[in-house]
Amino acid sequence: MTSATPTGVLRGDGAVLATGPETSPDGSTATTLRVALLGCGVVGSEVARLLTEQAVDLQARVGRPLELVGIAVRRGNRPRPGIDPALFTTDAEALVARADVDLVIEVIGGIEPARSLILTALGHGASVVTANKALLAQDGATLFAAAARAEADLYFEAAVAGAIPIIRPLRESLVGDEITSVIGIVNGTTNFILDKMDTDGAGFGDTLTEAQELGYAEADPTADVEGFDAAAKAAILASLAFHTRVTAADVHREGITEVTSTDIASAKAIGCVVKLLAICQLSDEAEGERTVSVRVHPAMIPRSHPLAGVGGAYNAVFVESRSAGRLMFYGPGAGGSPTASAVLGDLVTVARNRVRGAVGPGESSYAARPVASIGTVTTRYHLSLEVADVAGVLARIAQVFAQHDVSIQTVRQNGRGEDAQLVVVTHRATDAALSATVASLRELDMVRDVTSVMRVEGE
């Protein structure tokens, strides 16, 4: 090592309270925390820029300088204005394997090579900040175990709802409470699309392209529109909220590709708006063994509900807990700059932990709650049916609902020549009962088509 001169703050009794930088022969400071950045896309480029621009403030907040020592990219020769080209490397594995790297930021996304790179980093004791919900939701347990073994941090605020602080509130602020429900709009791209369909009557394709250009969408936007991204976030939220392990495979998932302008108009007609919701619920104590249900699907919610006013790419997470009651977390859920804010917040936190020789919270899955099957989940439903406008049709249809123990709340009929459109809103019913009702309705000659089935939430 070096013959560096330690500097520090001396207490009255002569004890050193904080050790300042030690200068090495190569001019670097021995106490500098070295940072490796993996990925330089929408989020990574913003993180790199802010790490440089805000270096002085970040140093003051951490108590030691943060030095960006390398940025792993796929193509090294692409121009990236404002970032020192000497930092780029296409050898991500060599970068994370460097023993002198203290902190690794992973913003490549996807499962591999992100998982191997994170495990290599944790393997030599580096702390990791990641925005990778897909990986955490698929194999978080392996990453948490590796972090625990290394006594290193694994932080991921950016993985759910972008800039909105929601991971830290669940892991820390609310950890003394019992959370019973988490309902969120956690995908900016789909909220942007549904909002435009609702307000401008815009088409799906054009709006998706706009969301991609604004940097909200995933590399493969199927992850957004088919609900995979929201399902990964729901798994993470449910795991943290209920102290159990929920993976993406446990989440019932439906995307927004089948939401039509007719659905949006039907929602309007009953004073609702269509949102893609992530719903995580803990069953009632009175119902026996407590289970968790986790689902992502489009739903109609009343325009008076706090989540109904969440527009554009904004996200919001509505938490209900035993002691605190209802809390709402709201803000920008996607885009390079908001996501970089969450990444840097985590970076400062893990860097501070390192300075103090501490580690933050690890995985908490002690409650080990079973995941309820979607068939047992109850909610209200909105159905649109095309039927023959003949005597007795209403009675026959009502009979089918009754046979399956699904209670009707309202029925509206719009005449259309020889046919009619029926709009039925039910009281709460199980998913299994509703599916069986729809199957039976489809078998009736007088039912031409069941054109839409959508859940009604938030009442």
Ligand X SMILES: N[C@@H](CCO)C(=O)O
Under the binding rule (CB under 6 A), the answer on residue 92 touching ligand NAD is yes
Minimal distance, residue 91 CB to ligand NAD, in Å: 9
Which region, judged by CB under 6 A, interacts with ligand X, from 66-74, 187-195, 272-280, 404-412? 187-195
Minimal distance, residue 159 CB to ligand NAD, in Å: 6
Q: Which of 211, 176, 174 is nearest to 192 (CA)?
A: 211
- Partner from ligand NAD, ligand X, Na ion, none binding residue 65, C-beta < 5-8 Å depending on class: none
Which region, judged by CB under 6 A, interacts with ligand X, from 184-192, 263-271, 428-436, 448-456? 184-192
Q: Please confirm, yes or no, whether 233 is among the known catalytic residues.
A: yes
Taking residues 353 to 392 in sequence order and writing x for each that binds ligand X by CB under 6 A, - otherwise, the string is ----------------------------------------
Contact 123, 104 (CB under 8 A): no
Under the binding rule (CB under 6 A), the answer on residue 43 touching ligand NAD is yes
Under the binding rule (CB under 6 A), the answer on residue 216 touching ligand NAD is yes
The nearer residue to Na ion, 65 or 169, going by C-beta atoms, is 169
Site for ligand X in 225-284 (CB under 6 A): 229
Q: How far is CA 198 from the centre of its chain?
A: 23
Site for Na ion in 339-398 (CB under 5 A): 342
- Partner from Na ion, ligand NAD, ligand X, none binding residue 224, C-beta < 5-8 Å depending on class: ligand X
Minimal distance, residue 39 CB to ligand X, in Å: 14
Q: Which of 46, 153, 157, 457 binds Na ion (CB under 5 A)?
A: 157
The nearer residue to ligand X, 338 or 360, going by C-beta atoms, is 338
Q: Which of 46, 153, 224, 226 binds ligand X (CB under 6 A)?
A: 224
Taking residues 161 to 200 in sequence order and writing x for each that binds Na ion by CB under 5 A, - otherwise, the string is x--x-x----------------------------------
Under the binding rule (CB under 5 A), the answer on residue 107 touching Na ion is no
The nearer residue to Na ion, 20 or 165, going by C-beta atoms, is 165
Under the binding rule (CB under 6 A), the answer on residue 189 touching ligand X is yes
Site for ligand NAD in 377-436 (CB under 6 A): none
Q: Under rule CB under 6 A, how many of the chain's residues touch ligand X?
A: 11
Residues near ligand X (CB under 6 A) are 162, 187-189, 216-218, 224, 229, 333-334
